[in-house]
Structure 1
């Protein structure tokens, strides 16, 4: 029996809940493995071979290889675990977040310094006057 999930109606938002945690378990475990320098070195030497050691779906592996963080989150990745991947690539959290929004790092920084993303268009359908 699935639970009612009214939060699924928030445009552009992926909620990391228990179902997503189950779906992304191996992806998140892989990400956490990158906390160890030896694992980061192995991953950087042959990404595909290292990924194949983890019981992830092919779609999850492809998202990692493509560095498609939005897809990784849709497949159960938790952004705090995924941070280990972009840190391995030498990228800041700000840089990765900018890529997830389709913005340049500078535009993302400026938006955040100005108070963040507008809630307009990012509310539940019934709250936005569209529902």
Structure 2
């Protein structure tokens, strides 16, 4: 029996279809485990994206530093976190993008809910 897909407002479920759609983007992000790869990306982002055959949608999202667009293009947040680190984005920056809040508002929300910002 297969689990039914349940829509969660404001989220993009990461399922098998999304994994296939985002394979190249996620493979590129995984490559950032190696410092030399992070350096190569920063030196020539376009060439690095070419190396992994990113789609135009994925390239636009990466160039815009738009995490939500990367997720919509098949990116897995765990892999995207590696890319976010290269851009100097924190976990709070990612959470703010995902919720459509400012970083300060997102941090305040975490504190109000008893979570550490």
**Is the contact made by 1:34 and 1:85 (CA closer than 8 Å) also made in structure 2?**
yes
Q: Which residue of 2 aligns with 1:93?
A: 91
Contact 1:48 1:65 in 2 (8 A): no
Moved runs in structure 1, 4+ residues, more than 4 A? none
Shift of 1:113: 2.0
Instruction: Provide TM-score, normalisation by structure 1.
Output: 0.78
Where does structure 1 lack aligned partners over 5 or more consecutive residues? 117-131
In the alignment, structure 2 segments of 5+ residues that lack a partner are: none
Q: State the aligned residue count.
A: 113
Whole-angstrom CA distance in 1 between matches of 2:53 and 2:36 = 20
- Aligned pairs for 1:65-104 within 5 A: 65-104=63-102
Higher radius of gyration, 1 or 2: 1
> More deviation in 66-75 or 98-107?
98-107
Aligned equivalent of 2:51, options 38, 48, 53: 53
Distance 2:8 2:88 in 1: 31
Measured on the aligned residues, the alpha-carbon RMSD in Å equals 1.8
Q: Partner of 1:62 in structure 2?
A: 60
Residues 87-131 of structure 1: CA distance to partner in whole angstroms, max 9, x if unpaired? 012221112221332322221011122229xxxxxxxxxxxxxxx
1:109 to 107, 110, 114: 107
Which structure has more relative contact order (CA 8 Å, sep 6+)? It is 1
